[in-house]
Amino acid sequence: MRSLEDAARIIEKELPGTLAVNVVGGYAFSNVPYAGVALSIITEGDPQAAQAALRDLAGIAWDLREGGIPRQHDLDEVVRNFKFDRRARPKGPVLLVEPADNIGGGAPGDGTDVMRALLKYDIEGAGVAIADAESVAALQDVPIGGKITLPIGGKGSPLDPGPVTLEVELVSRSDGVFELEDKNSHLVGSLGKIIRMGPSAVVKHRGLTILLTSKKLPPFDLGQWRSQGINPEELSMIGIKAAVGHRVAYGKIASGEFTVNTSGPCTSDITRLPYTKLRRPIFPLDRLEV
């Protein structure tokens, strides 16, 4: 966008008769026929020269098209490497950041891909937070230390593979109320200093700790874990349902961070989305050459 905007300003300055050049970035999640980058020029000058200028801008957009695709790691590969890399690991958890289930972006916060990967490789000491009021309610009559089989997560988006049914041990229950550790967090502006996640529960399945909340909460404060009796510094890997807002809190304790490609409504990999109205072919859903 910076390259296109810089080129647009040059056209406005140097092409006679040009009043304005507009660069419209488009909205990649729009399921409409004409989505994507658009360019327009308002001119009192030579229309053919204006058309040529627009073609030049389009050429810049095309040449830089790969730069518009966020780079993400393969989730399975990251977790597998963590499992089998025998070298000494630095102190602190490795973050598995999944923008596809970005709670701050409106996602349901109950995506199961990261949980599935941690279970697949049986990562000891890992933790995930899942917004799942149904599972919390099902635990209300279970005694601490008791076990129950639950379908966890995967209920909020048709893009997710669906719930993961696990036998879990109930570790603790709470009302989900806690005070933010970071009073400068931008959660203060929207939720206040006292956070209410609704009735919550901590369960374990083998080496995985699962924090179940009735309300979704952007992972912007470590108090979310500590209030439930969990020290996040001691977790080996943590699933993070955010994009960038988590870094103020979690950057202080993390030994590594990987933005991973998962399913969900806020996915950066738009090839995962079920477009029905979009004109085709179009990049990056289709690999085109011009």
Q: In this structure, is the dihedral angle defined by the CA atoms of residues 113, 186, 189 and 176, taken in order, positive or negative?
A: positive
pLDDT at 189 exceeding the cut of 80: yes
Q: Which of 20-29, 82-91, 149-158 has the lowest mean pLDDT?
A: 82-91
Tokens of 1: 């966008």
Name the one residue in this structure whose structure tokens are 């179009």: 282
- Give me the helices (H) in 99-174, please: 113-120, 133-138
Q: Do the strands 164-174 and 147-152 form a parallel or antiparallel pair, or are they unpaired?
A: antiparallel
132-161: burial string, b at 16+ Cβ within 10 Å, e else? bbbbbebbeebeeeeeeebebbbbbbebbe
Task: Give the tens place of pLDDT for each residue, 136-182.
Answer: 999 999 999 999 999 999 999 999 999 999 999 999 999 999 999 99
pLDDT at 76 exceeding the cut of 90: yes
The mean pLDDT of 64-85, rounded to a whole number, is 93
Q: Which residues pair with 149 in a beta bridge?
A: 167
Residue 289 confidence (pLDDT):
66
Residue 95 confidence (pLDDT):
98
| Residue 255 identity (one-letter amino acid) | S
Predicted confidence band at 287 (pLDDT cuts at 50, 70, 90)?
A: confident
Residue 166 confidence (pLDDT):
98
Greater model confidence, 284 or 215: 215
Query: For all residues of the chain together, what is the average pLDDT?
Result: 95
Residue 86 confidence (pLDDT):
66
Neighbouring C-beta atoms of residue 187, cutoff 10 Å: 21
Tokens of 241: 């349902």
Task: Give the tens place of pLDDT for each residue, 87-121.
Answer: 767 789 999 999 999 999 999 999 999 999 999 99
The whole-angstrom separation of Cα 20 and Cα 42 is 5
Does this model's pTM top 0.95? My answer is: no
